[in-house]
Chain A
Amino acid sequence: MWSEYREVRYRREGPPTHRPEIVETYSDEQRLVQRAQRDPEAFGELYDMHFDRIYAYIHRKTGDRQVAEDLTADTFLKALAHIQSYRYTGQPFAAWLYRIAANVVIDYYRVRRPTVQLDEGLSAAFGGPEPEEAALALDDRQAVSLAMQALSPDQQDVIIMRFGGDMKLKEIAAALGKTEGAVKALLFRALGTLRRKLSESGVQP
Chain B
Amino acid sequence: MRRYADVTELIAEQAADSTEQKALEAVARRVAHELERPVPYRPKFKAELRQELLRAARRRLRPWYGRPAVVGPGLAAVAAAVALAIGLQMARPPAAQGPEQVAEEQPAAPEAPAPPSVTGDEPTSYLVHLPADLPEVRLADERTRLDRQLLAPASTAVVGSVQLMRLTARPGEADFRAMASRLGFRGESRRTDRGWVVADEDRSLTMTTDGTVQYADLSEPDADAAPVDAQAAGQAAQRFLDQAALPVHSQPDISPREDGFMVVYTEHVDGRPVVNARTEIAVNQAGTVVRARAFVPSGVTLHATYTEFVSEQEAVQLAAERGGSFQGAELVWVRSVGDGTVYLQPAWRVLGTNAQGAPVARYVGALVHEDSSGQ
B100 touches A11 (CB 8 A): yes
Among A59, A66, A77, A191, the residue within 8 A (CB) of B81 is A77
Among B7, B35, B340, the residue within 8 A (CB) of A111 is B340
Flag whether B95 is at the interface (Cβ < 8 A). Answer: no
B residues in contact with A141, CB < 8 Å: 34
- In the complex, identify which listed stretch (B55-63, B279-287, B309-317) lies at the interface while the others stay far away: B55-63
A40 touches B61 (CB 8 A): yes
Among B7, B27, B58, B301, the residue within 8 A (CB) of A195 is B27
B contact set with A: CB distance below 8 Å: 3-4, 6-7, 10-11, 14, 23-24, 26-32, 34-42, 45-46, 49-50, 53-54, 56-58, 60-62, 78, 81-82, 84-87, 98, 100-102, 168, 170, 172, 299, 301-302, 340-341
Please give me the residue from chain B that is nearest to A111 by CB atom: B170
A127 touches B27 (CB 8 A): no
A188 touches B61 (CB 8 A): no
B residues in contact with A112, CB < 8 Å: 340
B50 touches A126 (CB 8 A): no
A contact set with B: CB distance below 8 Å: 11-12, 37-41, 43-44, 47-48, 51-52, 55-56, 59-60, 65-66, 68-74, 76-78, 80-81, 83, 107, 110-112, 125-128, 140-141, 144-145, 148, 159-160, 162-164, 166, 168-169, 184, 187-188, 191-192, 194-195, 198, 203-205
B residues in contact with A56, CB < 8 Å: 38-39
12 residue pairs of the A-B complex, CB under 8 angstroms, read A11-B101, A55-B39, A56-B38, A73-B82, A111-B340, A125-B39, A163-B4, A163-B28, A163-B34, A192-B24, A194-B31, A205-B26
Query: What is the CB-to-nearest-CB distance from B77 to chain A, in angstroms, rounded to a whole number?
Result: 11
B residues in contact with A76, CB < 8 Å: 49, 53
Nearest first, the 3 A-B pairs at minimum CB distance are: A40-B57, A111-B170, A205-B26
B38 touches A43 (CB 8 A): no
Please give me the residue from chain B that is nearest to A168 by CB atom: B6
A residues in contact with B24, CB < 8 Å: 188, 191-192, 195
B7 touches A162 (CB 8 A): yes
B301 touches A77 (CB 8 A): yes
Known contacts A73-B49, A77-B301, A162-B7; A40 and B54 CB within 8 A of each other: yes
Please give me the residue from chain A that is nearest to B48 by CB atom: A73
Q: Is the interface of A mostly helix, strand, loop or mixed?
A: helix
B84 touches A69 (CB 8 A): yes
Please give me the residue from chain B that is nearest to A71 by CB atom: B85
Please give me the residue from chain B that is nearest to A40 by CB atom: B57
Known contacts A66-B87, A73-B82, A168-B6; A144 and B49 CB within 8 A of each other: no
A191 touches B11 (CB 8 A): yes
Give bound CA distance, A160 to B36, whole Å. Answer: 9
Query: What is the CB-to-nearest-CB distance from A134 to chain B, in angstroms, rounded to a whole number?
Result: 13
B302 touches A74 (CB 8 A): yes
Query: What is the CB-to-nearest-CB distance from A56 to chain B, in angstroms, rounded to a whole number?
Result: 4
Please give me the residue from chain B that is nearest to A113 by CB atom: B340
Query: What is the CB-to-nearest-CB distance from B208 to chain A, in angstroms, rounded to a whole number?
Result: 13
B168 touches A163 (CB 8 A): no
B30 touches A205 (CB 8 A): yes
A residues in contact with B61, CB < 8 Å: 37-40, 43, 83
B170 touches A110 (CB 8 A): yes
Please give me the residue from chain B that is nearest to A60 by CB atom: B39
A48 touches B85 (CB 8 A): no
Known contacts A40-B57, A188-B11; A164 and B35 CB within 8 A of each other: yes
Query: What is the CB-to-nearest-CB distance from B350 to chain A, in angstroms, rounded to a whole number?
Result: 33
Query: What is the CB-to-nearest-CB distance from A158 to chain B, in angstroms, rounded to a whole number?
Result: 10
Give bound CA distance, A68 to B58, whole Å. Answer: 25
Given A148-B31, A203-B30, list of 15 further CB < 8 A pairs?
A11-B100, A11-B101, A40-B62, A51-B41, A73-B81, A77-B301, A80-B56, A80-B60, A83-B61, A126-B39, A127-B102, A145-B34, A169-B6, A188-B11, A191-B28
Give bound CA distance, A83 to B54, whole Å. Answer: 13
Give bound CA distance, A160 to B35, whole Å. Answer: 7
